[in-house]
Amino acid sequence: MTKTKKRQTMKEYVLKNDDFLVSQTDSKGTIIFANDDFCAIAGYSIDELVGKPHNIVRHKDMPKAAFKDLWDTVKNDKIWSGYVKNRTKDGGYYWVYATIYPIYDETRKEKTYLSCRRKPSQKEIDEAQMLYKTFK
């Protein structure tokens, strides 16, 4: 008797048009703030996110080169924008169009990064997927 493995399909969460995910990290990428939309869509409580590295939501399909470009850009005090496939706590995923702003946090006395994310169109997702397939 042969056992067949059931292939589990990851569930996609499609953002609503008015979803707006916001998070802030310290200079090392540790989450110091997350808004309600980010928590709800990623499937984590605020307490599960604050103090954790932002890559807690990184999806394995995302090329490392995309994040290298992101960090190289924001660490040079420039704004980065791009399409990101993130992972939910339950193993699903969602796509966002992210804009990351390097800012100096007067309270913390350090550079932090503010990430604002919205729903991308299906065409934008398709184009990002094609582009990311070319990355090594």
pLDDT band at residue 93 using 50, 70 and 90 as cut-offs:
very high
Please tell me the distance from the alpha carbon of residue 65 to that of residue 82, in angstroms, as a whole number.
Answer: 12
Residue 91 lies in a domain: yes
Note down the domain range covering 107.
21-133
> How many domains would you assign to the chain?
1
Residue 7 lies in a domain: no
How far CA 53 is from CA of 31, 111, 122, 136, in Å, comes to 6, 16, 28, 24
Residue 68 lies in a domain: yes
Residue 5 lies in a domain: no
> Is pLDDT of 104 > 50?
yes
Residue 14 lies in a domain: no
Percent of the residues in the chain that have a pLDDT greater than 70, as a whole number: 93
113-128 pLDDT per residue, tens: 999 999 999 999 999 9
If one compares 9 and 88, the residue with the highest pLDDT of the two is: 88
Residue 126 lies in a domain: yes
Residue 106 lies in a domain: yes
Report the pLDDT value the prediction gives residue 10, as an integer from 0 to 100.
76
User: Any idea what the CATH number is for the domain that residue 107 is in?
Assistant: 3.30.450.20
Residue 4 lies in a domain: no
54-65 pLDDT per residue, tens: 999 999 999 999
